[in-house]
């Protein structure tokens, strides 16, 4: 690099870093994590256990990475091209930042744009993102359905609702129903559906997504223990998954803001009380956002720096 080019390059990198900080701050504010609101939480309800908190962060990050790998596998399965696991993780984590903007399509669009830079079909990448979201929702529902009886007073719901959802999932994997549901799902997402979708592939995506959701819910359970709440694994897992699904369905809320926390409080208050459930829900929002945004911002800064060096040498 010539001395004359050093100053413009430095200013360019500095501008990109400041832009990264600004975007990160925007995401944090969109997540509802104002200093005033965090300050209202009574820290006395928490009994911090650092080991559990550290484990929860690692498990949650593993869940994000596994979902990225599943997305890359779906891209390959539908003929969209090949991504290495590392490329998929970087693109997925950076693309995930877009889900903090109201509307569910921005994350999908971002993934398509990032994948195209790696020589992968943007259409295939976005289609894979839509399919991945659908498989992930089914995986979350299969875990979250366990929490439904806690909101019901009639014991018959212990069997009717879970049985109905499980039956619907199995029927949905039949070739005719699977392709019909996929067409509807893509129509809702306003994206063209790829040809030749296989219900066998769909079953594999759902099973893998269920595994990712086991990691997500296990991470939340470890996080709750890290704050001193001894909630049962099944209770915390099902409540977290159900709250996520309900928050996702609230299209107006970026990343399910407010809706997810409200349902999480409702589902956990019978176990640990309203005050503790409120504190846990607020802390969980900060935890998830931090574990997601910090690595993504790191990937983004490294990416723009590498691009800057490439353009300078060019």
Quick check: helix, strand or coil at residue 171?
A: helix
Quick check: helix, strand or coil at residue 84?
A: coil
> How high is the pLDDT of residue 138?
86
> How high is the pLDDT of residue 149?
59
Q: From CA 234, how far away is CA 238, in angstroms rounded? A: 6
> How high is the pLDDT of residue 23?
47
**Selection from 83, 86, 186, 51 nearest residue 132 by Cα:** 186
Burial group, residue 109, by CB count within 10 angstroms (0-12, 13-18, 19+): middle
Quick check: helix, strand or coil at residue 3?
A: helix
Q: From CA 64, how far away is CA 136, in angstroms rounded? A: 12
Q: From CA 209, how far away is CA 135, in angstroms rounded? A: 6
Predicted confidence (pLDDT) per residue in 2-45, tens digit:
444 444 444 444 454 455 445 445 544 544 545 455 555 566 67
CB 285 within 8 A of CB 262: no
> How high is the pLDDT of residue 197?
74
Q: From CA 44, how far away is CA 64, in angstroms rounded? A: 31
Q: Which two tokens stand for residue 102?
A: 């109201």
> How high is the pLDDT of residue 4?
43
Q: From CA 215, how far away is CA 69, in angstroms rounded? A: 14
CB 250 within 8 A of CB 256: yes
Looking at the structure of the chain, the number of domains it has is 1
Question: To which residue do tokens 């609230």 refer?
Answer: 250
Tens of pLDDT, residue by residue, the chain (314 residues): 444 444 444 444 445 445 544 544 554 454 454 545 555 556 667 888 999 999 999 999 999 999 999 999 988 888 767 788 888 888 888 887 776 655 556 666 677 777 777 777 777 888 888 888 888 888 888 888 776 655 554 455 555 555 565 566 666 656 667 777 777 777 766 667 677 677 788 889 989 999 999 999 999 999 999 999 988 888 899 889 988 887 776 654 444 455 788 788 888 888 888 888 888 988 998 899 889 888 888 888 887 776 655 545 55
Q: From CA 101, how far away is CA 170, in angstroms rounded? A: 33
**Selection from 162, 154, 165, 30 nearest residue 101 by Cα:** 30
CB 65 within 8 A of CB 217: no
Domain range for 234 is: 3-313
Q: From CA 206, how far away is CA 201, in angstroms rounded? A: 9
> How high is the pLDDT of residue 246?
78
Find the helix or strand (DSSP H, E) in which 279 lies.
helix 274-313
């Amino acid at each position: 690099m010539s001395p004359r080019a050093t100053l413009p390059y430095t200013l360019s990198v500095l501008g990109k870093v400041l832009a990264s900080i600004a975007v990160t701050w925007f995401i944090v504010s969109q997540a509802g994590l104002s200093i005033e609101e965090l300050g209202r939480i009574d820290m006395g309800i928490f009994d911090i256990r650092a080991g559990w908190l550290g484990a929860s962060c690692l498990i949650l990050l593993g869940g994000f990475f596994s979902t990225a790998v599943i997305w890359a596998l779906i891209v390959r399965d539908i003929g969209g091209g090949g991504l290495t696991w590392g490329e998929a993780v970087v693109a997925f984590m950076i693309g995930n930042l877009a889900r903090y903007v109201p509307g569910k399509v921005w994350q999908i669009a971002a993934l398509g744009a990032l994948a195209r830079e790696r020589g992968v079909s943007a259409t295939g990448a976005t289609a894979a993102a839509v399919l991945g979201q659908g498989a992930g929702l089914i995986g979350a529902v299969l875990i979250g359905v366990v929490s439904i009886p806690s909101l019901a007073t009639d014991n018959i719901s212990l069997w009717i609702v879970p049985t109905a959802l499980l039956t619907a999932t199995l029927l949905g994997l039949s070739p005719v129903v699977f392709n019909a549901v996929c067409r509807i799902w893509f129509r809702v997402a306003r994206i063209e559906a790829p040809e030749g979708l296989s219900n066998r592939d769909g079953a594999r995506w759902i099973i893998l997504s269920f595994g990712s959701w086991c990691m997500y819910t296990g991470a939340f359970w470890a996080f709750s223990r890290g704050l001193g709440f001894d909630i049962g694994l099944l209770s915390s897992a099902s409540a977290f998954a159900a709250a996520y699904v309900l928050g996702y369905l609230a299209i107006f809320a970026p990343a399910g803001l407010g809706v997810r926390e409200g349902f999480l409080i409702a589902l956990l208050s019978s176990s640990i009380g309203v005050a503790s459930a409120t504190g846990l829900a607020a802390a969980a929002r900060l935890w998830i956002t931090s574990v997601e945004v910090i690595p993504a911002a790191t990937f983004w800064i490294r990416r723009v720096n590498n691009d800057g060096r490439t353009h300078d040498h060019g």
